Amino acid sequence: MSQRTRAEHHEPAHPDPWVSAWALLLRKHGLLGLVDASGADVVRHPSKGAGAPFLDGPLDPRDMHTVGIQTQDAETEQVDVRLVDGPWNRLCHPRFTVRPIPRRGEVPTQLDPVVLEPSDPVWPSGPIRVQLLDLPERFTTLATTTVAGQFGPVIATDGRTVVSGLPLRALLAEAHAIAPTATSYLNHIAVPKTYELEQLVVNAIESAVLAAGGSSLRTDVWPSGHRAALTIRHDYDRVCPEPVLRGLLDTYANAGLASTWCFRLDNLEPAHAQMIAASGHEVSLHTTAGDEDAFLTEVQELERRTGVRPLGVTAHGGAGSAGYLGQHQLLWAVRAGMRYAELLGRTPLLPFQALSAADGAVTPLPLVLPNVHSSIDLTTKPDGHRLGDLQKQVPADLAQGGHAVVMNHPDIHRDELRTLLAGLPLDHVWLATLADVAEWSWASRLGGTSSHHNGRWTHRFGSPLPHPAVLRVAGAGAGEVRVPAGETETVI
């Protein structure tokens, strides 16, 4: 057998289109670029075999031979991964049920939920191949799992190579996407939980690259001085008396908090929307549309009647609405020139770049998806609220550096909302609108591109920076630069 050079050892064009979205996952966590000691981009063009910083599953016999591991293979629908010294995470193909929403005034028929089966085969549904790792002594286990009655390591590192017995890049990308549905989303029945696993793997790969003389470029997830972000989102589903509205805006003025208000077209109070916008809050769209024409009409009408062009959209789930339609709505939002939409039923914790998948390809969209909202309202009854749950969950999301999004209908449970806010640890938490969070996330990390030449990084931001950003190089060429607001590019 001839001696292969490093260059010939690059990964072949991967048959799994989801792998192409891997770089987006790294940017979600603020890792903008990663090159090996020769300056080669190890994210876009991962090497294989000896010296590769990351060997992703399914591992082929040559990889296994090179690093000296053996595997025990099995298949399963859902992989519960235990991070060493950490929590459980879950990998699976996301699956959800759909059910039509009744028209307004119609007696609801109790249709059973139906599991969505996407017609496009780009949405995987089969079992996941798991390879339990039989490791040489130099390896440290990062995560374990149990599959087919066998327990063992499934992700490990020897400091130079991170080895995964799961197709991690594809599964993590898929965890951030949602199939299109013509009938309203109802509930997830298989939901990935991956935040801590993403952090663990991203950090381990970066460490492996740096240990081998490479270089990484990172930025902070939140604007300087902030450790997490909180958005208060109001879905304006019933007309809210003006004194109530003013009371909330006063509370927010005292707290220094900018909130997001999502308006429907069928009960729009233009004077209320204008008052909210004039107080420095965001007016956004709460869609009921069932097709793209209706959606674009809502955007135009909202702008015509309030003077505000919505930068994002959330979906109304009540009677008379088409509901949340997954990828369809993401594409409509892009075509309406919006900056953000939503992904329901997952807990990504940090804003990330939307993906669309069709015809065998996975394509990044110029759209930010914030973390999923947590509703304080369960029903409209006085005791129909989730204050107790949110008093635990929101501080936990903030402690992890995440984006907590609390949703409330402004005509109900305002006392509970105020109680929640008063009790939250909000030191160094960015109190921002969904549009603020989307704009910052896109500009500072999600929408940008990095390149590495002659030992220096050049980073082009996704859009002019709305706040100063700090960029850090670790490993070769280590350094730090503070980039002022308004900049579009920096060299470090």
Contact indicator for 228, 222 with CB cutoff of 8 Å: yes
Q: How many residues bind Zn ion (CB under 5 A)?
A: 3
Among 27, 48, 234, 316, binds Zn ion (CB under 5 A): 316
Separation of alpha carbons 355 and 437, rounded Å: 18
CB-based closest residue to Zn ion:
316
Instruction: Please choose, from the candidates 74, 201, 66, the residue with its C-alpha nearest in 3D space to the C-alpha of residue 132.
Output: 74
Q: Is residue 377 a contact point for Zn ion (CB under 5 A)? A: no
- Name which of 235 and 436 has its Cβ closer to Zn ion: 235
Within 8 A by CB and 6+ apart from 416, the residues are 376, 385, 387
> Which tokens hold the place of 378?
């369960």
Residue with smaller CB distance to Zn ion, 174 or 237: 237
Residue 123 contacts residue 180 (beta carbons within 8 Å): no
262 versus 394: smaller Cβ distance to Zn ion: 262
Please report how close the Cβ of residue 264 comes to Zn ion at its closest, in angstroms. Answer: 7
235 part of the interface to Zn ion, by CB under 5 A: yes
Burial class of 281 by CB neighbour count within 10 A (0 to 12, 13 to 18, 19+):
buried
For residue 325, the minimal CB distance to Zn ion (Å) is: 14
In the complex, the smallest distance separating the C-beta of residue 317 from Zn ion, rounded to whole angstroms, is 6
Task: Name the one range near Zn ion by CB under 5 A: 273-281, 314-322, 376-384, 426-434.
Answer: 314-322
Q: Which two tokens stand for residue 30?
A: 């603020």
- When asked if residue 342 is in the footprint of Zn ion (CB under 5 A), the reply is no
Are 165 and 146 a contacting pair, CB within 8 Å? no
Single out the segment in contact with Zn ion by CB under 5 A; choices: 141-149, 162-170, 181-189, 229-237. Answer: 229-237
Report the residue number, 63 or 235, with the smaller CB distance to Zn ion: 235
DSSP string covering 77-97: SEEEEEETTS-EEEEE--EEE
Cβ 126 to Zn ion shortest distance, Å: 35
Instruction: List the one residue from 237, 298, 397, 436 that touches Zn ion (CB under 5 A).
Output: 237
What is the smallest separation between the CB atom of 262 and Zn ion, expressed in angstroms?
7
Interface of this chain with Zn ion, residues 163 to 202, rule: CB under 5 A: none
Which lies closer to Zn ion via its Cβ, residue 154 or residue 283? Answer: 283
Which CB, 328 or 445, lies closer to Zn ion? 328
With respect to Zn ion, which residue has the nearer C-beta, 264 or 452? Answer: 264
Q: How far is CA 420 from CA 37, 140, 403, 417, in A?
A: 49, 42, 16, 5
- Minimum distance from residue 315 beta carbon to Zn ion (Å): 8
Taking the least distance from each CB to Zn ion, the nearer of 375 and 391 is 375
Classify residue 229 by burial, with Cβ atoms within 10 Å: 0-12, 13-18, 19+.
buried
The candidate with the shortest Cα–Cα distance to 94, out of 23, 172, 164, 28, is 172
CB of 187 to Zn ion, least distance (A): 16
Residue spans of beta strands (DSSP E) within 100-172: 114-115, 128-134, 140-147, 150-157, 162-164
d(CA 194, CA 179) in angstroms, rounded, equals: 18
Q: Which stretch binds Zn ion (CB under 5 A): 230-238, 338-346, 389-397, 469-477?
A: 230-238
Stretch binding Zn ion (CB under 5 A), from 68-76, 118-126, 313-321, 484-492: 313-321
> Contact region for Zn ion (CB under 5 A) — 108-116, 212-220, 231-239, 327-335?
231-239
Smallest distance, Zn ion to C-beta of residue 40, A: 49
CA distance readout (Å), 59 to 130, 131, 155, 302, 432? 10, 8, 12, 52, 43
Percentage helix, strand, coil, to 5, in the chain? Answer: 25, 30, 45
Q: Which stretch binds Zn ion (CB under 5 A): 13-21, 233-241, 272-280, 421-429?
A: 233-241
Least distance (Å) between residue 41 CB and Zn ion: 43
Give min distance, CB of 236 to Zn ion, in A.
Answer: 8
CA dihedral 233, 235, 240, 242 (to 10 degrees): 40
95-98 and 228-236 beta bridge pairing:
unpaired
* Residue from 433, 157, 126 nearest 280 by CA: 433
Compare residues 36 and 342 and give the one whose CB is closer to Zn ion.
Answer: 342
Q: Smallest distance, Å, CB 166 to Zn ion?
A: 37
**Residues that bind Zn ion in the complex, under the rule CB under 5 A:** 235, 237, 316
